Structure 1
Amino acid sequence: MARGATGLTVNVCAALALGAAAFAQAQAPPSPADGVVLAEQYFKNVQALRGIPVDEFMDTMGMFAAATGMNCVDCHVSDAGGDWTKYADDTPFKRTTRRMVAMVNTLNEGSFGGRRLVTCFTCHRGLKVPATLPNLDLQYGEPPPVDPDQIARSTPGAPTPDQILDKYLQALGGTQRVAAITSITGKGSYRAYDDFQLSPLDLYAKAPDQRTTIQHSPYGDMTITYDGKNAWMAAPRDIRPFPVVQYSGGNLDGARVDAILEFPGRLKQALTNWRVGPESSVNVQDVQIVQATTPSGFLVKLYFDSKTGLLLRSVRYSDSPVGKVPVRVDYSDYRAVSGVKVPFKRVATWTDGRTVFQLDSVQVNTAVDASRFVKPKPPAPAKP
């Protein structure tokens, strides 16, 4: 599902870009035919965020938006919404953001040994201007609920990870039935943030860890593919300033996790450092949280219904220069397909978008052509 990342997590509005750099050139500059492209190789006027991949750059834009509650044109020039080249123009907000990035980096380097313990969100908390006065109602009122998506330590006395994961496989239909699923194809619809209509969706997955989703948007097809090793997103120019971007870091690992969750029989082996977090709730349902890390060291949290054992939520975290970026997927509407329960509804939420996916039909163990999992080509414009 990512995005970011991502599987089913595809960006809706081109990117919530707040300062620190700028958006696309009038024409895409030369870039490697394959491999990760750096932000300054693709965008103009990148100053404070040089040296990071394009997908991480876009994650950073989302982090600015999440921290300040602002969107693209709040920080960029007002007419940037219809012209990618305008995102390169400087504004007072962008200049301020560059100084803030430098300030946060200096603080983390000087006080925390380079660990990103202070982020934009640490102070802003969704506000354009950080609050400086104490809130007495907050001080003497009920404590705010703990966000279950925050990273937590292991909880003594809880069930073991194996017990929770085994219960999950049994809830799906049993270990043998789950292992017998070798491919999944699905058709349905999706609605992105601020969309006024549903658009068609196709899902293709092949064991052990290949996955492609195609969103047939009004502007053209948006495709996210993980081939078992690499991941890409191809999007129309009306939605993204680049036709194809290769995922890196946490976004790449996130695409792999999304693919593996289609065939969860391999989940135990795919992740490491399993530990059980505190009990919590998701949408008023009690959940048991299990945390693990990908082979590259990125954290993944899985939320299992305490009663049924089914997976209700996954959260994964990628890095950015201004802190960890969460990508969350909620699962519901489980239906049995060939004796195995499949979540027909998935809601992907990240720092610069939210998309609801609803599958209408799912088939398993059908032939899926290998061409479904190759690097996608730049999408053709939608027909008028």
Structure 2
Amino acid sequence: MRETTSDADGPMTVGGGRYELIGHLGSGGMGDVLEARDVNLNRRVALKFLGAGRLTGAAPGSERYIRAREMFVREGHTMARVEHTYVATIFDCDIGGADPFLVMEYVDGRPLAEYVGGDPLLLEQTVRWSGQITEGLAAAHREGVVHRDVKPANILITHDSSEVRIIDFGLARFADATESHTDMGTPLYRSPERCRFESGDERSDLYSLGCVMYEMVTGWPPFGDRHSDPAALAKEHQYRSPVRPGQQVPDVPDPLDDLIMSLLAKSPADRPRSARAVTRAVREVERVLESVAARRRQAPGHDTSQADVGITERIREAEKRVRRLLLQFGSAHDETVAARVELAELTGESGDERGAVELYERLGRDCQRRYGPHDRRALDAFEKMTRWTEGGYER
């Protein structure tokens, strides 16, 4: 039972009145996540509660319950050692009440899980977010911290900057040690050694990252789906080789295809040596995108006014501009339409012709819904979509 206090007409608080509860952010097998305000520092935070009694199946006050709380504190201290831009910060750990909780950085964003599970992501998004995830994992691994549950639900994408924040470091190990029967170490993204109930290490995180990248590139995980039997998934992770992403969707650069397959090697020894090595490999994919864009800028009729600005940086700035205009004006306002056209063109120039087609199709349909089936903006978007379907600019 969570211990809360409040004045007669005041807000509910926890942590001896320090944290003023604002709302419910989500729930999982480990417990609830609540938005709160740190009264002392006047900042928004996220409180992640762990129902230790539920995890261990033991009554409060029992020896197992006490051990679980002690381990939770140790894991909180471990997670707090990881300080990096792409990792959600742990500010505090409170064990004073019936349910201990972590005080975490509040991230205004959505989990990557809400972006995947259908169409492939834009190629530049995949490369950008993959690089940020690997940087965050590298920072954790340098501190000896292994995540053990890398999955889209544990990767948040911020609204303002479209950047990664990795959450829940160490909680899978806590669940293992307390004999939890939760979904920690989700079977869709679990490494072969974790499927064998081994503890795993840094390279287990890299396998899970490979599963996540595979889903970003293709639209689905390498094996099964969310309705698959966990035992069958475990066998596939251990014994079956996935189809290469590039055989399923177009425009996947060979270095990205090769990287994902190396991350999905069955033996940890056959995977990249470290998250830092993966970061370098992702940077190589970025250079491939830049090279493709540079060749296309040399074609007749291209705008060369920003030739000295990298394509990935231009795409990121265009994406931010689209996001801001969507909030300000909506999806079919003329300023928004112009920004969306720019983003689609830059996406195609980077070598992601499929992504350009998808962006133009969405734009055309949005304009049709807003202005009618024969709207000039919609027809223009579909015309540009057709051009990229047929190969875009001459090379």
Q: Which has the higher helix share?
A: 2
Instruction: State the structure with bigger RCO (CA 8 A, min sep 6), 1 or 2.
Output: 1
Q: TM-score, normalised by structure 1?
A: 0.23
More strand by share: 1
